[in-house]
Structure 1
Amino acid sequence: MKAKNYFFAIVFMVFVALLAGCGTAGNEKSEGAKETQSNSEKAVETSGENMTLEVGVMPAVDSAPIFLADQKGYFEELGPDVNVQLYTNAMNRQSALQSGELDGAMTDVIALVNNVENGFDIKVTTSTDASFPFLINKDFDENKKDIKVGMMEVSVSNYLADRSLEPYNVQKVYINEIPARLEMIAKGQLDMAVIPEPMASQGELNGLKKELIENMDEFSPDVMVFTGKAIGEKAEALKLFHQAYNKAVDEIVKDDSEARDILIQTLDLKPEIKENIIMPEYQHARVPSEEFLQSVMKWNEEVIGKKVNVSYEELVDGSFIQ
């Protein structure tokens, strides 16, 4: 009888030990699951807050690497969730940037300098690569000296016109919308206008003459800027954005045929212009030099008639291309 009781006592102790072990294992698994879930939630939270970028671009060849990176999934592959928005009116793009609808946008160094001078917190993160032809009315008299030229007032079009039309007496007509400039040239209301590619080739197809403005500077006057808020809160997304941009540039340098197709498709242009588009020499993300920006600021001071008091460091952030 004692032996039987002893046997049951041992069995009972073993059973209790097994239950305790199972409970401990269950608790360990539960704690591990909680930790994994917590880490996952943190990753989702970080991704949702920092990896989304709203980017505004213009109907220009500068946009080709961004369009290509978007359509081929380079942004998604590297991480950032990039929403690319197209603007045909630079003032609308500027309003969207200033109101916080956009994290960054394609603009030019003249607009950049004036924005920073007026207290808007944006910085260049890379130059872009552009082609800027003049589109000329088909009946334009080459011997004519007094001409009407369409452009934006504080913009690269004004800058390039001053650098390229010295032999003429230029009456500047300020028109923000590119399609409106094209229409006015065609109707003879303007003699010419600075129009970025590929819109210039579209105008050429419609009977206007196209003449390329040679860029004698080391850098293009066009840039990508991002707000101080985006730079402060979305640094990783910006870094990966520029990596995707560089990957797209590598593709275009090898063969620009697909980039030409994407420009025509995205900008709703006629396929006949494909081989006539003057494509720039695309380069990896890089920031303009201090010397270049100083020369632009000097021109800008002459145009607006006052001293520009901004430093190179206030205009440029090169941390995303290193």
Structure 2
Amino acid sequence: MLKFKKIIGVALVTTLMGATLISCNKKEKEEDKTTLTIGVMSSIDAVPMFIAKEKDYYKKEGVNVDIQVFKNSKDRDAALQAGTLDGVICDEVAVNLYQNANFDVKITGVTDGNFVLIAGAKSNIKSYGDLKGKSVAISEKTCMEYTLDKLLEKNSIDISTVNKTAVPAIPTRYEMLKEGKIDAALLPEPFSTLALNDGGVKLGSAMDANIFSSVSAFTQKAIDSKSKEIKNFYKAYNDAVKYINSTPISEYEKTVIDTVGYPKEMSGKIVLPKYRENVLPDDKDLETVIKWVEDKGLSKKSLKASDLVSDVGIK
């Protein structure tokens, strides 16, 4: 009888161990499913995503978020197309180009990135009118060129009178402006602040002109398979926005500096935009981008605003 009890006991332990292993494996698979991998670059519009992680807002909503930082959009796009990313911070022009390349990526929200048009300290440019015949550094066929075109249009400047200079690498663009090799440049943070500290002249910015082309986007595959996780991601994102907008920057400035890449001497001088809780871009704005892409000869498809968006993040 004692031997029989021992056999039963061993069998019970073995069964329990097997059940535990199955439970653990199941849990690991569930955790994998709830992970969203998002690609960003060091930029001002990525700040709420990092704050949400730092404050455990993702954890609160039951979603794991892996934020991967890329040095350039080319590497980010390659990772997205390879399927190693579920989503990205990008822009409306990029999503339009994805769709034209039969890569189904949808805009799921707006972000608050900004591009500032800055004239060099020695360029003698003081206003938009002074840009005629001058060189302005951008990256071609991107939201940078789109933003420059719209800024010029809004200020009644004939686009053809400005010499667009293709300088894709933003650090190089900044250095060329600093050294006087170009007259003006369109720059994001932290390079726009650095350029202004060098004596550059601010002519305008995307945000000042209500040009909001920066967005967050997910692949249709992720939207189909991880809709709950995406919804919870944006709940956490909105909590981060509320926190940032209601809290002195001194309490989270280190995260901002690390995220954007500000030099440490900028501590105490950083000014953030008023971030918006997640919404979709206006159809009118998207239609303007679609037309711009078509006018540039970059479109193979006849797209509508509804082709570029998904409401999964705002329901």
Q: TM-score, normalised by structure 1?
A: 0.81
Structure 2: segments with no counterpart, 5+ residues: 1-10
- Tell me how far apart the structure 2 counterparts of residues 294 and 55 of structure 1 sit (CA, whole Å): 26
- Indicate the residue corresponding to 1:159 in structure 2: 146
Secondary structure at the residue paired with 1:96? helix
Classify 1:172/1:67 alpha carbon distance in 2 versus 1 (closer, same or farther; 3 Å): same
- The count of residues paired between Structure 1 and Structure 2 equals 302
Classify 1:99/1:138 alpha carbon distance in 2 versus 1 (closer, same or farther; 3 Å): same
- Tell me how far apart the structure 2 counterparts of residues 91 and 187 of structure 1 sit (CA, whole Å): 26
1:68 pairs with 34, 51, 69, which one? 51
Identity percentage of aligned residues: 30
| Aligned 1:68-87 pairs, distance under 5 A | 68-87=51-70
| Aligned 1:1-322 pairs, distance under 5 A | 41-48=25-32, 50-142=33-125, 143=130, 145-166=132-153, 167=157, 169-215=161-207, 220-255=212-247, 257=249, 258-274=251-267, 276-304=269-297, 308-322=301-315
Structure 1, residues 108-137: CA drift from partner, whole Å, max 9, x if none?
101111111220111111111122211321
Offset, 1:73: 2.2
Query: Are the equivalent residues in 2 in contact too, given 1:201–1:273 (CA < 8 A)?
Result: no
Query: Are the equivalent residues in 1 in contact too, given 2:34–2:64 (CA < 8 A)?
Result: yes
Query: Are the equivalent residues in 1 in contact too, given 2:90–2:216 (CA < 8 A)?
Result: yes
- Tell me how far apart the structure 2 counterparts of residues 164 and 126 of structure 1 sit (CA, whole Å): 23
Aligned-partner residue type, residue 141 of structure 1? N
Structure 1, residues 76-127: CA drift from partner, whole Å, max 9, x if none?
3322222212223122211221122221111110111111122011111111
Query: Are the equivalent residues in 2 in contact too, given 1:148–1:172 (CA < 8 A)?
Result: yes
Segment of structure 1 superposing worse, 278-287 or 240-249: 278-287
Query: Are the equivalent residues in 1 in contact too, given 2:47–2:259 (CA < 8 A)?
Result: no
Classify 1:256/1:99 alpha carbon distance in 2 versus 1 (closer, same or farther; 3 Å): farther
Secondary structure at the residue paired with 1:131? coil
Secondary structure at the residue paired with 2:134? strand
Offset, 1:144: 5.4
Segment of structure 1 superposing worse, 211-220 or 235-244: 211-220
- Tell me how far apart the structure 1 counterparts of residues 145 and 17 of structure 2 sit (CA, whole Å): 62
Query: Are the equivalent residues in 1 in contact too, given 2:144–2:186 (CA < 8 A)?
Result: yes
- Tell me how far apart the structure 1 counterparts of residues 245 and 296 of structure 2 sit (CA, whole Å): 37
- Tell me how far apart the structure 1 counterparts of residues 119 and 211 of structure 2 sit (CA, whole Å): 25
Task: Work out which of the two has the higher radius of gyration on C-alpha atoms and give 1 or 2.
Answer: 1
Query: Are the equivalent residues in 2 in contact too, given 1:131–1:279 (CA < 8 A)?
Result: no
Query: Are the equivalent residues in 2 in contact too, given 1:204–1:210 (CA < 8 A)?
Result: yes
Segment of structure 1 superposing worse, 228-237 or 199-208: 199-208
Please give the root-mean-square deviation of Cα atoms over the aligned residues, in Å. Answer: 3.0
Query: Are the equivalent residues in 2 in contact too, given 1:88–1:178 (CA < 8 A)?
Result: no
Offset, 1:32: 9.7
- Tell me how far apart the structure 2 counterparts of residues 299 and 256 of structure 1 sit (CA, whole Å): 39
Query: Are the equivalent residues in 1 in contact too, given 2:46–2:259 (CA < 8 A)?
Result: no
Aligned-partner residue type, residue 286 of structure 2? L
Query: Are the equivalent residues in 1 in contact too, given 2:52–2:236 (CA < 8 A)?
Result: yes
Classify 1:297/1:260 alpha carbon distance in 2 versus 1 (closer, same or farther; 3 Å): farther
Structure 1: segments with no counterpart, 5+ residues: 1-26
Aligned-partner residue type, residue 154 of structure 1? K
- Tell me how far apart the structure 2 counterparts of residues 116 and 144 of structure 1 sit (CA, whole Å): 34
Q: TM-score, normalised by structure 2?
A: 0.83
- Indicate the residue corresponding to 2:8 in structure 1: none
